[in-house]
Amino acid sequence: MKISRILLAAAGLAVLPAMYASRPVTEQGKVILHAWSWSLDTIAANMKTIADAGYDFVQTSPVQRCYVGDNGGRALFSRPGDPEMGKWYFYYQPTDWQIGNYMLGDRDDFKAMCDSAYKYGVKVLVDVLPNHTAVDHTAVLPSLDAAVGGHENLFHGNGFTDITDYNDRLQCTTGKMGGLPDVNTENPDFQYYYMQYVNDLINLGARGFRYDTAKHIGLPSDPLDPKATENDFWEIFTGRKGVKGLSMLMPDSLYIYGEVLQDRNVKEKEYTEFIDVTASNYGHALRDALKKGNTLTTDLNSWHHTAAPEALVTWVESHDTYCNENESAPLTDDQIRAAWVFLTARAAGTPLFFSRPEGSTRENYWGTNRIGNRGNAEFFHPEVVAVNKFRHAMKGQPEYLSFNDDGTVGAVSRGTEGVALVNFSAKDTNVKLTTALPDGTYTDSVSGETFKVSKGILTGKLTPNATAILYAN
């Protein structure tokens, strides 16, 4: 029997494990698809396409019970002229930690999706958010209140006090963010209840988690909320210790990362003692290069992070940069693909591809505007697939970055085995770069464009925002 498919323990009945490694697994060489707002059955139905496109992980949106807003409508965002109402972010407003919500599917749908993922060799990451409840905290279900000994025990002492300074660690880790009351994640009763949810997900086939608003959950060195005696959430939910006799299943086999958005006084390196973290500043640098059409004033060599590159989850854009302020939404699909090729060809980090909404355009960001539908076809565009597979093929090869004189073209060389070329500009651009590839003629399998190497110089031409993947063999 394969351990990834057997029922390890009934949810809530796992026994305490021996001590595990001090840090969860890292996933260098792997690629994540963020199936944003896809329903669970939509993900399951597209699993073969996901696998064939070279993704190792598929990340779901939150699957716990959530606030039912806008009359239970399933629009991504309510807008004039559309009779369907809804908000995508309602699933980020928990009312209980049990599997299933009206937006994405129920517990059976989750299991069926995990079974499909196992069939095609894809691992499921679940977006989880223990840090807050719905804005309307009266919508919290009685089962959750009962589990923590009453509604008042669910929240931090500062949990209804608005954060005014996100760089004040006490405020950041215990205060109300964006109207969302802050859960007392250090309450052992809550930890025990939430652990049952985590173990249920693992039993059904989840193989990792993305922690939303992770920088708002305290580290051991952070100041304590008045209701807390120690900040031990991350120790418990990476398998280092249990709570009330219950521990997380399979901690040495899970991939866990957190949304730790970069700012002043964020303990980035300390978070990576427990989990991988997001390289939000590098995504900004990539988008800056796209907007300028060159890399002359943008440093793409540095990861812009204090943590080790191996501990980073990287992206060109995230659902937040696309949706919240539409900061990345005006970028064309061609531009996103170009930066994705550059990012994913690099040796370090674990890149995440955000699936934009079905039918979205630069004039209509929401597209068909329906939760549950598959995103647009970009996640399996030939250029995206080519670099996903290039990343797998180049695992273990060192990288070297180079740029042409005007900064319009960047190259990611991987040892002597291959090169990924990217045109950041919206114009035809000539390529002339040093390379370790052997002399010869090379053809990009997607565009059919040819490039030549002679005496260590690579030459050719790239059309606007085009890419090319070249292999030595």
Beta bridge partners of 124: 58, 206
C-alpha pair distances (Å), 140 with each of 86, 136, 146, 295, 357 = 19, 8, 11, 48, 30
Per-residue DSSP letters for 74-86?
--SB--TT-S---
Residues contacting 347, CB < 8 A, separation 6+: 28, 394, 397, 398, 399, 414
Contact of 195 with 238, CB cutoff 8 Å? no
Beta bridge partners of 64: 99
Alpha-carbon dihedral 427, 432, 433, 434, rounded to 10 degrees: 170
β-sheet with 429-434: strand ranges across: 429-434, 457-462, 450-454, 440-443
**By C-alpha distance, which of 394, 399, 418, 400 is closest to 473?**
418
- What distance in Å separates the CA atoms of residue 343 and residue 31, rounded to the nearest whole number? 11
Closest among 310, 290, 302 to 467, alpha carbons compared: 290
Other CB atoms closer than 10 Å to residue 160's CB: what's the count? 12
As a whole number of angstroms, the distance between CA 409 and CA 338 comes to 10
Query: Any alpha helices (H) in 242-279, and if so which ranges?
Result: 268-271
* Beta bridge partner(s), residue 314: 351
Per DSSP, the chain holds a count of helices (H) and strands (E) of 12, 18
What residues act catalytically?
212, 259
Q: What are the φ and ψ backbone dihedral angles of 334, each rounded to 5 degrees? A: -60, -45
**Alpha-carbon torsion 47, 51, 52, 55, what sign?**
positive
Helix (H, G, I), strand (E, B) or coil at 176: strand
Please, where are the H alpha helices in 175-314? 188-204, 233-236, 268-271, 280-292
Task: Using DSSP, state whether 58 is helix, strand or coil.
Answer: strand
CB 77 within 8 A of CB 125: no
In 100-223 the beta strands, taken as DSSP E runs, fall at: 123-128, 206-211
- Find out whether 419 and 408 touch, Cβ atoms under 8 Å: no
